[in-house]
């Protein structure tokens, strides 16, 4: 059973999410919070597997709440956002979130995303993630690039895999494109995360953009 904490300042939004999630045999909403302060407190008390986190809330926003929860190791966080608040989603990713969804995400995709995050993966939508990172890390967004020398610890194959991760390819798609087994791909991904001291694929995507390994306009 995947235990979920819902965090949103709109009661109707929480009600809708609760109905969708509790209808699943493997998902259970164990608590709700209307702001970041209560989110941090309940995450510590209830120890959910995943926190479904809004970003703009009173008292403490979702970005800071995400940072506190992930730094404490109490739960994984999946952020909810809208297109007009992309900068908040990016901040949440940088502060420990394992991915983000749009609030109008279809129920089936929400359920799938929660399962992925709970299993230790990260939710990296190729289209939405690329839009966000292109906007805020690309030249048009004024983002400053990090020193690419941090990538020197990677082999050529690992750099190739990192590029494809940043473009949103799943392990299955990576295996097909590189003519490798999925087990080998998982090994490469694990080594990339370990060498770069990254928590998950989301952080790998952000780093790939921040170092200029992947740039706006790349397909």
Mean pLDDT of the chain: 84
Q: Which structure tokens are listed for 113?
A: 């995303």
Residue 166 has pLDDT above 70, yes or no: yes
Alpha-carbon distances of 203 from 23, 73, 151, 208, 218, rounded to whole Å: 31, 16, 14, 9, 19
pLDDT at residue 42, as a whole number? 96
The model carries a pTM of 0.71
Under 8 Å between Cβ of 144 and 190: no
Average pLDDT over residues 108-127: 77
Q: E strands along 115-207, which residues?
A: none
pLDDT in tens, 57-75: 888 998 899 999 998 888 9
Give the whole-angstrom CA distance, residue 163 versus residue 75.
Answer: 28
Set out the domains of the chain in order of their start, with CATH numbers: 2-125 (3.40.50.2300), 148-211 (1.10.10.10)
Give the whole-angstrom CA distance, residue 142 versus residue 29.
Answer: 40
Average pLDDT over residues 202-209: 82
Residue linked to tokens 């709970």: 118
DSSP state of 210: H
Most confident by average pLDDT, 111-125, 130-144, 180-194 = 180-194
Give the whole-angstrom CA distance, residue 126 versus residue 131.
Answer: 8
Residue 144 has pLDDT above 70, yes or no: no
Q: How far is CA 151 from the centre of its chain?
A: 21
Give the whole-angstrom CA distance, residue 114 versus residue 110.
Answer: 6
Residue linked to tokens 């990296």: 124
Q: Which residues pair with 53 in a beta bridge?
A: 7, 79
Give the whole-angstrom CA distance, residue 202 versus residue 117.
Answer: 11
Residue 125 has pLDDT above 60, yes or no: no
pLDDT confidence bin for 136, thresholds 50/70/90: low
């Amino acid at each position: 059973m995947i235990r979920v904490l819902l965090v949103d300042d709109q009661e109707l939004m929480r009600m809708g999410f609760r109905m969708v999630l509790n209808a699943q045999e493997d998902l259970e909403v164990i608590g709700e919070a209307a702001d970041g302060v209560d989110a941090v407190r309940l995450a510590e008390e209830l120890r959910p597997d995943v926190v479904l986190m809004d970003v703009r809330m009173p008292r403490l926003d979702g970005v800071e709440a995400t940072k506190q929860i992930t730094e404490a190791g109490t739960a994984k966080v999946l952020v909810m956002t809208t297109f007009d608040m992309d900068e908040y989603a990016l901040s949440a990713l940088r502060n420990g979130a394992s991915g983000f969804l749009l609030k109008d995400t279809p129920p089936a995709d929400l359920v799938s995303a929660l399962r992925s995050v709970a299993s230790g993966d990260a939710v990296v939508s190729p289209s939405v993630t690329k839009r966000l990172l292109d906007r805020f890390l690309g030249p048009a967004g004024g983002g400053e690039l990090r020193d690419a020398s941090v990538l020197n610890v990677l082999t050529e194959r690992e750099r190739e895999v990192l590029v494809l991760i940043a473009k949103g390819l799943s392990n299955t798609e990576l295996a097909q494109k590189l003519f490798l087994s999925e087990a080998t791909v998982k090994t490469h991904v694990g080594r990339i995360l370990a060498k770069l001291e990254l928590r998950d694929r989301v952080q790998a995507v952000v780093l790939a953009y921040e170092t200029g390994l992947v740039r706006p306009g790349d397909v």
